[in-house]
């Protein structure tokens, strides 16, 4: 009985190893999507030049940010006195919140 069992196990293992020797059979998503041959007429230097031009124009985004990165200091032509006067006028007109007070500021403390 042990001889028959041993012979069956050996034959099953030989049949199983011959199936793996034929190569992996495509299954599931291993072969999807099919590979597409891509050719490019641009050199690496051309691509790098295009990247630098896009970065200079602000067209490149980083991470999960959809908006392009904008420099923090855009510059202003208003003087400090003009900015203070505009803030004073806005505060006098009403619905502007300053110093984390509520929105809109209704004149209360």
**How many whole angstroms separate alpha carbon 105 and alpha carbon 46?**
55
Query: Which one has a higher pLDDT value, 48 or 103?
Result: 48
pTM of the model: 0.32
Query: Which one has a higher pLDDT value, 103 or 62?
Result: 62
Residue 60 and residue 50 in contact, taking contact as beta carbons nearer than 8 Å: no
pLDDT digits (tens, 9 = 90+) for 32-56: 777 788 888 999 999 999 999 988 8
For residue 26, pLDDT over 70 is answered with no
Average pLDDT of 44-70? 82
Residue 93 and residue 83 in contact, taking contact as beta carbons nearer than 8 Å: no
């Amino acid at each position: 009985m042990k001889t028959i069992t041993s012979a069956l196990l050996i034959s099953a293992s030989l049949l199983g190893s011959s199936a793996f020797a034929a190569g992996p059979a495509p299954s599931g998503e291993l072969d999807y999507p099919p590979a597409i041959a891509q050719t490019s007429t641009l050199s690496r230097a051309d691509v790098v030049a295009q990247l630098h031009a896009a970065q200079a124009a602000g067209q490149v985004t980083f991470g999960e940010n959809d908006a392009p990165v904008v420099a923090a200091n855009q510059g202003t032509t208003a003087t400090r006195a003009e900015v203070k006067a505009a803030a004073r006028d806005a505060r006098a007109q009403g619905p502007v919140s300053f110093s984390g007070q509520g929105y809109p500021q209704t004149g209360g403390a």
